[in-house]
Structure 1
Amino acid sequence: MIDVWTALVIGNSRLHWAEFSGDRLRKTWDTPHANQDQTEFLQNRELWIASVVPLQNQLWQAHPRAHFISLEQVPLKGMYPTFGIDRALALWGAIQTIGCPVLVIDAGTALTLTGASGDRLIGGAILPGLKLQFQSLNQGTAALPSSLFPLPSSLPPRWALTTEAAIASGILHTVVAGLHSFIHDWRQTYPTSAVVLTGGDSDRIHAYLQVLHPDLADSVKLNPHLAFSGIQAIRQNSRQD
């Protein structure tokens, strides 16, 4: 009998889904935050859930085969009580698929950097993600306009001559420079470490890195499914217990 099951990461902005056949990832997709009518397709399928939005959890409580993943199930040393389950799973997924030491840059609603050596959390940093930074200038000021992400091929110069370009310049050049600094600092201590980008904006950030720091970008891996790899590892471990 084919072992088909579903993983769900409830993020701050969207639901992130993955369908597995045994240990093989078959497909992934995203949806808006759900209402009860959107859960019917799951039927009696096994569902493994990691959530950073407690209010969304109640929609899945009645599912007969739901497994809610807690921080205690991630076998990573050095985690603190408020460490995000999404960060923990992405880091554990990276350890399982890439190895250690590793630095995970998760480009979602928040932009997080999280490093591990062996099976221990070393630490990390959190800042607003790209979309939040663009939105905050539009929503928090009276005169600044809403701006769109520029294509990597049209990345604005640092010294821009329009307001829209100045916003993009300020955010993107600062974010890329910050990532460059963090990666450089991490590799001072862990020179053989892998660095991997994950999350919804990972491909966009990697493209900006490629324009501004091509040598660095070539050494950074892209893997949008790290959290699902972490869930898969947790599920496997639970079935062996």
Structure 2
Amino acid sequence: MFYVIYIAVIVFALYLIFHDRPEGEGQRRKPQARVSWRPEAPQAPARPQPQAPQRPEQPVSPTPRPLEPAPRPRVAEPQPKVAQPRPARPTRPLAPTVDPFATGRERSLSWGYLSSLEYDEGCGWGVGPDMDTMHTEITGMRYHCTLADVGPVNGFVKPEPDNPHDPDAQVVVRADGKVLGYIPKVALPEYGQFNRLGRTCPFAGYVKVSRQGYLWADILVALPTGRSFVESALTSYLEQARQGEA
């Protein structure tokens, strides 16, 4: 207890001592710092900063003015076309119309080739000579004949199955073996009905020159029903042609 009182007295005494001292007493003033003047050091010149290269200014192109549409040309109204007559294409005739009888160019015909044909009385229709003969023409003569072939002619008509253009072709061959042409394609159906067995048939006729200058020929074809019938029919046809009746 005594110690507590003693400590309290000391604390109170210290309080009185320090509380009543005027402000600033008992405290030492700190000396102020001495300021000395120093000359300023020269500053180094500022280094120039590299600048990025400037791009040259591009000239601003003026805004193009819209072009005015050009006036459309006036289209003339189509006029009705008038067909112009084409000039006739000149033809080069081989020769004027030739009459083999008037010019003496008729050749003597030989009938010896008839002996090489095969005859069969059963190949005809059996109703008379009018059904065993047929009148027709020769086509394609311009590819095989010349003016030297104008005149009477005889020979035979035979099938040509190896023909690359028409396996039904019927070739017309002169007695000496020269090809004159073919039975026209439009006549083949009729010829097929006439020559049902596809036999080699003898013929006789005339090679002529048309007014246009083309070679052509009318012929009479006979079925090989017998040599006497064939020779009689063909020579009779040539005689009628001489008289202008064929």
The interval holding the TM-score normalised by the smaller chain is under 0.3
- Asked which structure has the greater CA Rg, the reply is 2
What TM-score, normalized by structure 1, do the two folds share? 0.22
- More helix, by proportion: 1
Tell me which of the two structures has the higher relative contact order, counting C-alpha pairs closer than 8 angstroms and 6 or more residues apart: 2
- Give the alignment's TM-score, normalised by structure 2: 0.22
